A and B are shown apart, each in its own frame.
Chain A
Amino acid sequence: MSLTRIYGLFLRHFYLITRSFPRVLDLVYWPSIQITLWGFISNFFATHTTYYNNAVGVILTCAILYDFLFRTSIGFNMLFLEEIWSRNFTNLFIAPMRIGEILTSLVITALIRSLIGLVPAILLTSPLFGISILDLGVFLFFLFLSLYIFGITLGILVSSGLLRFGPSFENIAWSTMFLLAPFGCIYYPIETLPEIFQKIAYLLPLVYIFEEARNILINQTVNIENVYYAFMWNAFYFSLSIALFYYSFDAAKNKGTLINMGE
């Protein structure tokens, strides 16, 4: 692995973001709007339901966590799509970059993109709604890390599809998170789901992360098992996504997608 090349690809996206005010605005705008909207919904539910009345910030905290996941995943896909849209894809793949270097660079860049959006949104919640996500304590780090890994995993899976099937896979890139959101139990406990859906949900790390966030905020206790299971499933899906990316790269070389990308 070459740090110089990883830095080089990071720079390409850093320059792109810093050169364009609308891009920065886009990164900050949506998370802030999303959090503000959920802040008001959260306030409403906190005063009108018994389930949430012990923890005003539950919905809002989960909204922030979900937004981080969403931004990470979409951010990763965007970086990949950006190369296709700018017709720079071939240039990238004829540069002497290892797949691991490309992925590492995109993973770092996706994190920075997500944080650019997330930090202002988090800062908004305190003065507007009197809520601090830091109430999750030290486990906040593990929940964020878990979400970050899963967001990147989804990004890599979708990018594998883009590699294998070309730009026609773009629509899937936008819809992945929406497909998984119902199973993630982001705003409701898993018992809300029908039994068959619960079985599917338990196969995803998301349900453990959001159940644990609610557990910490509502019950003021920590169930380390949830954190453990989230990481376990993350390790599984992350490994799967990497393997699939390599497979797709190989398949793209057989099929010729790397040459025709963007057409």
Chain B
Amino acid sequence: MKNLIEVQNIKKNYGKKEAVKGISFNVEEDEILGLLGPNGSGKTTTIGMLLGLLKPTSGQIFINNLKLEENRIQILEKINFISPYIELPKKLTVKQNLYVYSKLYKVKNINERIEYLSEKLRIGELLNSITGELSSGQKNRVSLAKALVNEPKVLLLDEPTASLDPEVGDFVRTFLEDYKKEKKISILLASHNMNEVTRLCKSVLMMKNGEIIDQGKPEDLIAKHGRTNLEEVFLKLSRSNSEFN
């Protein structure tokens, strides 16, 4: 299987502070890789580097076999991101937002694309609503529509179901599973919801203090650490000290 994301020994220092300490990993086509770790472990920094928002201090990133440093625009055309910490312009209607981002991503057949996503994400009745007036669940689905407007080959998700009720959360997870299967895209999922990670991810990376301290399939990690679920593995690893540092 082809690797759509290849991260080779990337480091990120902020002055003397080492936020990411030389990590390497790959994400294959049609794979969801979970990126786990306590707050401050370097997940957001890693995602920032993959999006070209942060320049690695050293190391290289390849997306779809293109070096990010040299092909930023070309790569950004086929990558997208969703996070509860960023929002779409609140005063615009949902349709206006999707139209604007379709233009920024040079989407052809914009109306068809918006119609397709509206149907898939059940936001058809929201298209003329003001984005800032939507509920969290509705905003989340609209943000997801924006993130898929350019038919990305690589999708980076930072807490995609945070603050959603179980029904909407389940809808989003099911949608992501189906979409990934249908479009054969790669997804990097940063989440603190271990049930979500167990359900969606083929394998996971555990980060702590800027390093990958363990990785593997969720079931293998659970067995390896002698725990009953991924949350217990997470707690064990995040509470452990120098043996992993």
A97 to B52, CA, bound (A): 12
Classify chain A: how many residues form its interface, as a range.
35 or more
Q: In whole Å, how far is A103's beta carbon from the nearest beta carbon of chain B?
A: 15
- Stretch of B102-110, B168-176, B226-234 on the interface side: B102-110
Complex interface: chain B residues within 8 A of A8 (CB): 100-104
Contact A19 B86 (CB under 8 A): no
Nearest chain A CB to B39's CB is how many angstroms away?
14
Q: Which residue of B lies closest to A8 (CB)?
A: B103
Known: A15-B91, A87-B85, A95-B105. 10 other contacts (CB 8 A): A5-B104, A8-B101, A16-B91, A87-B86, A91-B81, A94-B76, A95-B101, A256-B45, A256-B48, A259-B44
Contacts of B103 in A (CB 8 A): 4-5, 7-9, 11
Does chain B have a CB within 8 A of A258?
yes
A253-B54, A258-B53, A259-B54 given; A86·B106 CB < 8 A:
no
Q: Mark each residue of chain A from 227 to 263: 1 if its CB lies under 8 Å from any CB of chain B, else 0.
A: 0000000000000000000000010011110110011
Chain B residue total in the interface (Cβ 8 A): 38
Q: Is the beta-carbon distance between A91 and B146 smaller than 8 angstroms?
A: yes
B92 touches A90 (CB 8 A): no
Cα distance A96–B78 in the bound complex, in angstroms: 9
B101 x A256 contact (CB < 8 A)? no
Contact A90 B83 (CB under 8 A): yes
Cβ proximity bits A74-115 to B, threshold 8 Å, 1 near / 0 not: 000000001000111111111111100000000000000000
User: In the complex, A220→B119 CA distance in Å?
Assistant: 67
Q: Provide the B1-36 mask, 1 if CB < 8 A to any CB of A, else 0.
A: 000000000000010000000000000000000000
Please give me the 8 A-B residue pairs with the lowest Cβ-Cβ distance, nearest first: A8-B103, A96-B76, A95-B104, A258-B53, A253-B55, A8-B104, A90-B86, A87-B87
The smallest C-beta distance from B16 to any residue of chain A, in angstroms, reads 14
- Say which residue of B76, B83, B89, B146 sits within 8 Å of A16 (CB atoms): B89
Q: Note all chain B residues with C-beta closer than 8 A to A95.
A: 76, 101, 104-105
**A48 within 8 Å of B (CB atoms):** no
Closest to A253 in B: B55
Contact B55 A96 (CB under 8 A): no
